[in-house]
Amino acid sequence: MSRSVLVTGGNRGIGLAVARAFAQAGDRVALTYRSGGPPEEATRLGCLAVRCDVTDAGQVERAREEAERAHGPVEVLVANAGITRDQLLLRMPEEDFAAVLDTNLTGVFRVVKQVTGGMLQARRGRIVLVSSVVGLLGAAGQANYAASKAGLVGFARSLARELGSRGITCNLVAPGFVETDMTRALGEKQRAGLLSRVPLARSAQPEEIAATVRFLASDDAAYITGAVLPVDGGLGMGH
């Protein structure tokens, strides 16, 4: 059955792979983009591309309205948009801490808040948040990012409790090292250091995260809520 799906940060990387996976499975997908234009692939996939900066509540509301006008109430939300502003704590300006929290945590709050009304009315829904192995392990130079991604765990688990009796699940994926622009920005030494700690001894492709997100949004995952599902090649084992 085709569902109305909304994916934030869907113009590249993991978000685009997620949008592609749902679209190829026959769902009606709205993806958001922020800077630049809509991704070329959106038209080919039959996805609706809507502009949305998740730090702006007005844009989030308009994006949800546009998505719902085209596809009906959102039944699956994938909150994926995220940024890094890495720096050791002593050198980290408060603006960089606040900016990462505003996008990665408060941004997710804004988007989730927009779609839950429709899900409550329908008495069903799937919310999947993109956290990170770093939210559980921590990482030097990423105190802001780790705090935002760990914050998502408490957020999702609270929603799992608030919304569960209405047939709405809320889960997280916690990816490890995925080949996207975000990790392409790392130096060779950092990449090698990270890879040496991955039991599967390789990085992930965005499609591998997308497959897990689709699983959490599927009927097969109907009895899973409040879960953190690692997709990290074993990097974060034990958490």
From 52-60, 110-118, 120-128, 156-164, span contacting ligand NDP (CB under 6 A) = 52-60
132 makes contact with ligand NDP (CB under 6 A): yes
187 makes contact with ligand NDP (CB under 6 A): no
* Per-residue mark of binding to ligand NDP, 28-47 (x: CB under 6 A): -----xxx------------
* Per-residue mark of binding to ligand NDP, 95-114 (x: CB under 6 A): --------x---x-------
Q: How many other β-carbons are positioned within 10 Å of the β-carbon of residue 199? A: 10
Q: Of 49, 177, 198, 210, which lies in the binding site for ligand NDP, with binding defined by CB under 6 A?
A: 177
From 49-57, 70-78, 117-125, 164-172, span contacting ligand NDP (CB under 6 A) = 49-57
Q: Of 183, 195, 215, 234, which lies in the binding site for ligand NDP, with binding defined by CB under 6 A?
A: 183
Q: Which is nearer to ligand NDP, 54 or 115 (CB)?
A: 54
130 makes contact with ligand NDP (CB under 6 A): yes
230 makes contact with ligand NDP (CB under 6 A): no
Q: Check if 33 is active-site.
A: no
13 makes contact with ligand NDP (CB under 6 A): yes
Task: Report the catalytic residues.
Answer: 145
